[in-house]
């Protein structure tokens, strides 16, 4: 049986509260009820792996147990706007490009390659974002762009399983790595 997996940073409770307020503000301002992703599903994807078998999952467990990254990641959310850039298919929180996020992604990919886990490699440039809503069949979308400049912290790296359902994806945390160590 294959598992649909991705590695991501989970969001802190404080950030989730700020997102809830922001979503309410946008709905009040635009008078539109957006199909927000449930807050328990919000995350920042670092590497989408695709469908992997159980043997690869065991290798991933070993990677997590021996992963050489023990510092929290500080980042900045620049703005909220439609995404991906130039399209209005989703609502994203855009993060500023960040050396630690790039290094984390590169280190994960190195470990995947060294353990010969063949995963879905992203061809596009890494554009850190948090997806807040998927927009289907909504016409005449109003302007929602807003500069935020929120300083945020990520304390946990997670291996998620994505279970696709007719009602949307369900995400289950399979493995966790605490990043809240001081370097």
On whether residue 29 sits in a domain, the answer given is yes
On whether residue 183 sits in a domain, the answer given is no
Here the tokens at position 131 are 């997806």
How far is residue 81 from each of residues 20, 71, 105, 113, 176, measured CA to CA in Å? 15, 29, 24, 34, 30
CA atoms within 13 A on the CB side of 38: 7
Angle, in degrees to the nearest 10, between helices 99-114 and 54-66:
130
pTM: 0.93
How would residue 183 be classed by pLDDT, with cut points 50, 70 and 90?
very low
Q: Please, where are the H alpha helices in the chain?
A: 13-30, 54-66, 99-114
- The mean per-residue pLDDT over the stretch 159-165 comes to 95
Total domains present in the chain: 1
- The mean per-residue pLDDT over the stretch 43-53 comes to 97
Higher-confidence residue of 130 and 165: namely 130
DSSP E strands, the chain: 3-10, 43-52, 73-83, 90-95, 129-134, 146-154, 156-165, 168-178
Domain range spanning residue 73? 3-178
| Residue pointed to by tokens 């289950």 | 172
For the chain, what is the mean pLDDT? 93
What percent of the chain lies above the pLDDT cut of 90?
84
On whether residue 57 sits in a domain, the answer given is yes
- The mean per-residue pLDDT over the stretch 148-161 comes to 96
Is 152's pLDDT higher than 80?
yes
CATH value at residue 163 = 3.90.1140.10
């Amino acid at each position: 049986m294959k598992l649909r997996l991705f590695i991501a940073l989970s969001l802190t409770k404080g950030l989730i509260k700020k997102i809830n307020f922001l979503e309410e503000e946008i709905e009040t301002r635009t008078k539109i009820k957006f199909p927000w992703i449930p807050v328990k599903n919000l995350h920042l994807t670092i590497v989408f792996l695709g469908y992997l078998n159980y043997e690869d999952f065991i290798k991933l467990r070993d990677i997590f147990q021996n992963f050489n990254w023990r510092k929290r990641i500080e980042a900045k959310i620049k703005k909220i706007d439609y995404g991906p850039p130039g399209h209005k298919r989703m609502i994203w929180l855009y993060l500023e490009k960040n050396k630690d996020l790039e290094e984390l992604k590169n280190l994960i990919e190195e470990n995947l390659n060294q353990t010969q886990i063949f995963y879905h490699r992203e061809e596009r440039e890494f554009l850190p974002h948090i997806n807040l809503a998927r927009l289907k069949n909504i016409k005449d979308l109003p302007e929602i762009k807003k500069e935020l400049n929120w300083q945020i912290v990520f304390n946990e790296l997670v291996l998620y399983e994505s279970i696709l359902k007719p009602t949307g994806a369900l995400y289950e945390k399979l493995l966790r790595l605490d990043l809240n160590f001081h370097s």
